Amino acid sequence: GGASLEDITSEIAKAIPPPVSLKKNAIEAVLYRGEFKLDSITLTNNLKSNVIARLSVNGTAFPLVTLEKTEINIPSKEEISTQIKLEAPDDIRYGTYTGMLSIDFNSSAIPSLSLPITIKVIEKMEPLLDVKVEAITKEVYPGEHLKFGTTIYNMGQTDRVDVVMNYSVKVARTEEVIETMSETLAVDTSKSFYRSINISKDTNPGQYIIEATGTYAYNNKTATSLDTFQVVSEPFLVRIIKEALSFRMYGIHIWQLFVIIIIIIILIRAYLKMKEKWIEEAKKRLRYTFPVDLRKLPRKSARSLWIGKIAEAGKDAYLDMDDLTVHLLAAGGTGSGKSVAAMGVVEELLDKGIPVLVFDPTMQWTGFMKPCTEDHMTKFYEEFGMKKERAKAYKTNLIYVEDPDKFEIDVKKCMEKKGELTIFGISKLRSGHMDKAVQKVIDSVFDASLPESSQLKAMLVFDEVHRLLPKYGGTRGYISLERGMREFRKWGLGMIMISQVLSDFRGAVRANVGTELQLRTKYSGDLNRVKEKYGGNYVKAVVK
């Protein structure tokens, strides 16, 4: 079942290279009369000694083959290439010529090599073209363009022909050439196209010829076609109009100036109409149409907070952070955005390194713990010149308050955490318990022996602060709140109070609020207060 001796011998022969190897199987060429082609062969000496190779050609292909070398010295372990020229004489017969390239060596131990040669001499295909030209505009005014169509037909045996097309306009009677143009094209089977040539203003009326001549086959052959057309005189009125339109002013045709002026007038009228309509529609959309003196508003500084845009003005709005030591009261109906507005102020404070303490009965302030990803918020970033990448999380300390009696707070320690947010989660406290927790916080501030400061050092935020009002069950917390409103300023402490109504707050609370933030509301008490203090236009804006 093993391999035969013959198979083993064959495998060994394949593994051992011949003394001299030839990198080619055959020499072949297809030639026209008078044409030649260069080919080459490469011989590799696989022996450890030099080898001399002798080349010779026999057969009918012999007259067509010229060897660069008939004897080649091939060094050991090297390869040598030599050129072979295959050429068909001008008077040779068409047909196929064969032969053999024989390669013998200076040692009889090296087997001879041979390479078959096949040369086919064929008749060269001649190109043949036909040209047809036709005047499209049979009557032309002097100074205008004659339009004509040209078709070139490839009627020969060549697949593609390069042709130089020359076009001439001649006087029919004298064949005087008055205009010329030319171009070079490649034609496969046929090619049709349109061209135009200028007829000079000085051309006399009469009959003229458009002639198209194609030159090809290395300028040895031509194909020509012609057609006639008339140059006619222009009517006097047409000539006057054309001369007027051709007049130039500042390098521009007068007719172009008229068109430009008309277009400008139309555009101006359309712009004024659109502007008038836009102003009317904009007035309908405006929420705030009352005047604002921007010079009196806080400006950007190291101690200012960016709180958004001034309505309808598109200018950035700022708030002096040190003014918040006189506290801020934000009011508005449910869903009006009062807490979100306060959060915008708190974000700026945290970015300025101000510690903030928040009493959160809704737990919505915990959103500071992660970047904002809500589309209904981030879609407005671009409108305010912000990038979505600006959204970030703030360092937040979350403390749940479930029993006000066990609740203890070190305000001084919280104030040392620069730029950090401390949230007291009081969502599980009833109004009475919330009252007690607020009292504890404010009392702890008074017990902290804080140093006096004219600048804002920390901020306390009381969300849903109306729960401290007596009508909601609050007593001691509201009294403590009034005390804090009066005295926190000297220590650089500010308070932000968020409520649904402003009018319910009396006494020291109302008297010590320096900044009021009124959002949308329908509460009559607050609306009357806004009307009395700022005017009817502000009331309309608040209720929108």
For residue 405, is pLDDT > 60?
A: yes
Q: State the CB neighbour count (10 A cutoff) for residue 192.
A: 10
Q: State the CB neighbour count (10 A cutoff) for residue 476.
A: 16
Average pLDDT taken over every residue of the chain: 85
Any domain includes 290: no
Quick one: 46 and 23 in the same domain? yes
Any domain includes 150: yes
Structure tokens at 509: 């609370």
Quick one: 392 and 527 in the same domain? yes
**CA-to-CA distance for 149 and 147, rounded, in angstroms?**
7
Quick one: 139 and 228 in the same domain? yes
| CATH number for position 116 | 2.60.40.10
| CATH number for position 179 | 2.60.40.3880
**Beta bridge pairs of residue 117:** 27, 99
Quick one: 113 and 157 in the same domain? no
**CA-to-CA distance for 100 and 231, rounded, in angstroms?**
72
Cβ distance 359 to 426 under 8 Å? yes
- Location of structure tokens 């047809």: 132
| CATH number for position 439 | 3.40.50.300
pLDDT band at 96 (very low <50, low <70, confident <90, very high): very high
Q: Which of 392, 336, 389, 357 is nearest to 523 (CA)?
A: 336
Structure tokens at 445: 């501030």
30-49: average pLDDT:
93
- Location of structure tokens 């730029």: 419
Quick one: 342 and 203 in the same domain? no
Structure tokens at 384: 């305010």
Structure tokens at 528: 């009357």
Q: How far is CA 97 from the centre of its chain?
A: 64
Domain count, the chain: 4
The last residue of one of the domains, among 122, 147, 169, is: 122
**CA-to-CA distance for 389 and 371, rounded, in angstroms?**
9
Q: Determine which helix (DSSP H) or strand (DSSP E) holds 243, and give its type and residue range.
A: helix 236-246
DSSP state of 226: E
83 CB-side CA count, 13 A: 7
Chain segment 469-495, per-residue pLDDT in tens: 766 666 677 788 888 888 999 999 999
Any domain includes 451: yes
Quick one: 78 and 182 in the same domain? no
DSSP state of 504: T
Any domain includes 44: yes
Any domain includes 220: yes
For residue 202, is pLDDT > 70?
A: yes
Quick one: 191 and 219 in the same domain? yes
For residue 9, is pLDDT > 60?
A: no
Quick one: 190 and 213 in the same domain? yes
- Location of structure tokens 């990803």: 373
267-295: average pLDDT:
77
Cβ distance 163 to 190 under 8 Å? no
Candidate ranges 6-20, 181-195, 239-253; pick with highest mean pLDDT: 181-195
Domain interval for residue 444: 300-543
Which region among 29-38, 393-402, 419-428, 432-441 has the lowest average model confidence (pLDDT)?
Answer: 432-441
244-249: average pLDDT:
66
Residue type, 255: W
Chain segment 126-140, per-residue pLDDT in tens: 788 999 999 999 999
Chain segment 293-309, per-residue pLDDT in tens: 778 888 889 899 998 88
Quick one: 424 and 522 in the same domain? yes
Quick one: 338 and 456 in the same domain? yes
358-387: average pLDDT:
85
The last residue of one of the domains, among 122, 151, 186, is: 122
Any domain includes 3: no
For residue 15, is pLDDT > 80?
A: no
Cβ distance 71 to 106 under 8 Å? no
The pTM (predicted TM-score) of the whole model is: 0.47
Quick one: 145 and 83 in the same domain? no
Residue type, 503: S
Any domain includes 139: yes
**CA-to-CA distance for 483 and 443, rounded, in angstroms?**
9
265-277: average pLDDT:
91
Quick one: 456 and 484 in the same domain? yes
Q: Determine which helix (DSSP H) or strand (DSSP E) holds 65, and give its type and residue range.
A: strand 65-67
Coil/strand/helix, residue 249 = strand
End-to-end CA distance of the chain: 102
Total length of the chain: 544
pLDDT band at 1 (very low <50, low <70, confident <90, very high): low
pLDDT band at 19 (very low <50, low <70, confident <90, very high): very high
Any domain includes 164: yes
